[in-house]
Amino acid sequence: MIEICRSIVSQEFEILRVDEYTGSRIDLTLGLPRGRGLREALETLYPKLTTYGCYPLVRRSERGLILHLFTRMEAPSRLLTNIALALATLVTVFLSGLALSSPGDRVSVDGFAWSPLAYLLGLLAPLIAHELGHWSVMRAYKTPASLPYLIPAPPLQLGFLGTFGAVINLKWLPPTANSLTLMAIMGPLVGYVVALPLAIYGLSNSLVTTEIPEGSITLPMIPVSVILLAMAIRVPEGHMIIFSPLAFASYVVFFVTFLNLVPIAMLDGGHIVRGVAGARAHLLVSRLFIATLIILSILFPQLILFAILALILYFMTGGRHPGPSMSIESTAHTITASSIIYGILLVLTIPIPIT
């Protein structure tokens, strides 16, 4: 396999030196590309190599441009695992929806927004869309990755939400800063776009009342998107909104989207900042964000969870991000578009403490 990949590299670059290692690694010192610019040659090379099971890592050294090639046995497909986890998640999320389907014994509500299926739809549709947004970009750039795994959790009756979210097993780094940035931004963007109309319908069909029904969940923080939508409903003075299951699912989606957008480590926000601004900026932004969260959590104790999670992620990774595999920086239009979208999504999902 390694010889096939070496032959593929020789079609795109002059190879000046070969360093072989025991096992599944070989280092190639690259010369001039053959008939292409450097960026185009590297972008062309990546999908050819990953298709044959070779994982490239391009770095500069005192010797010049070094291409590290790694090979490993592909794990067998786990489609049955994906299906089993998805079915389990459907059950646990539906059970959570049952717990939310009535705001209280003395209050009667009806309509789809109050059904357990509404909670299931409101939570899983944006979640799956989020992961498919990532996965579609990975597929477009031939980045090795698994199908999304839904992760079940105990239902709301046991203190959880029915799911811990979803993950994709990213088997190798995306090829360029452009692809890293697009992969990261596409998930939150698609998930938010799917969640927004569901949130509008869910809030429009929520309960507006002057009294809190017994057993209702009190929320310590509200994402900006939910606040804006609630303002559009024009709740009368002295009244409050009791979220329907669909509205509560949207609340959770916006909350989780903000967590994903935190610019630390390998979260979506970390990927975006690393792809747009580079390694040093990523490290600086991570530290500034954590410091800001710590200060804000002193003023607003509701934010302490964010500060703790950010610190844990920072120390687990050393605050660093490996960047793209081919070390090609983002183009100007990708930087501009991604930065604007990232900023808008971050502002729209920021949770505001309720005092």
For the entire predicted model, the pTM comes to 0.89
Q: Cβ of 333: how many Cβ atoms within 10 Å?
A: 9
Q: Could you count the other beta carbons within 10 Å of the beta carbon of residue 90?
A: 16
Q: Is CATH 2.60.40 what the domain over 2-71 is classified as, yes or no?
A: no
34/123: higher pLDDT: 123
What are the tokens at 232?
Answer: 């559009």
pLDDT digit string, tens, across residues 128-148: 999 999 999 999 999 998 889
- pLDDT of the residue at 72: 72
Phi-psi label, residue 238: left if phi above 0, alpha if psi -120 to 50, beta otherwise: left
pLDDT at residue 5, rounded to an integer: 86
Q: What's the rounded mean pLDDT across residues 263-287? A: 90
| Cα 51 to Cα 47: distance, rounded to the nearest angstrom | 6
How many Å apart are CA 83 and CA 81, to the nearest integer? Answer: 5
List every span in the chain annotated with CATH 3.90.1070.
2-71
Look up residue 32 and give its two tokens.
Answer: 């001039």
Confidence check: pLDDT of 340 > 90 = yes
In this predicted structure, the answer to whether residue 55 has a pLDDT above a threshold of 80 is yes
Alpha-carbon distances, residue 118 vs 42, 101, 113, 268 (angstroms): 46, 9, 5, 27
241: pLDDT confidence band, cut at 50, 70 and 90? confident
Q: Say which residue, 235 or 317, is predicted with more confidence.
A: 317
pLDDT of residue 334: 84
**Averaged over 308-314, what is the pLDDT?**
88
192-222 confidence digits (pLDDT tens): 999 999 999 999 998 887 776 666 667 788 9
